Amino acid sequence: MNLLSQLYFTASLVFIILTTSCGRTPFPCFSISEDEDSIPVNKEVYFNAICSDKAKEYFWDFPNDSVAYEQAVSYTFRDTGIFEVTLIVANGNKSKIGTKKLTVKQP
């Protein structure tokens, strides 16, 4: 391998490493401690975003303008109905949004 080929190979390898490991857009993913279709009203529900790939920052948006900023949080639904819970995950200047519709019922 001549010097020019070695430089091209090294530069290509560095490019691949940088573009696949640094600053990747995170993927929002979260689990819920209750069944999404039958969450009991007035019961504390636990949400965990440990499965969110490449996330370094978390922003949860719950009904009634409640927010949280941790990877694992809890929330109590005070009313019955269908509600959206949104998770925004970020990694530096890249972010992505994930939303789930949850059904809250009388126990």
13: enclosing H helix or E strand:
helix 3-21
| pLDDT of amino acid 10 | 47
| pLDDT of amino acid 12 | 44
Cα(40)–Cα(103) distance, integer angstroms: 9
Query: In which residue ranges of the chain is pLDDT below 70?
Result: 1-23
Q: Are 26 and 90 in contact (CB under 8 A)?
A: yes
SS3 56: coil
* Position 86, amino acid: T
Domain range 25-105, CATH architecture = Sandwich (2.60)
Spatial CA neighbour of 64 closest among 85, 47, 44, 43: 85
| pLDDT of amino acid 23 | 61
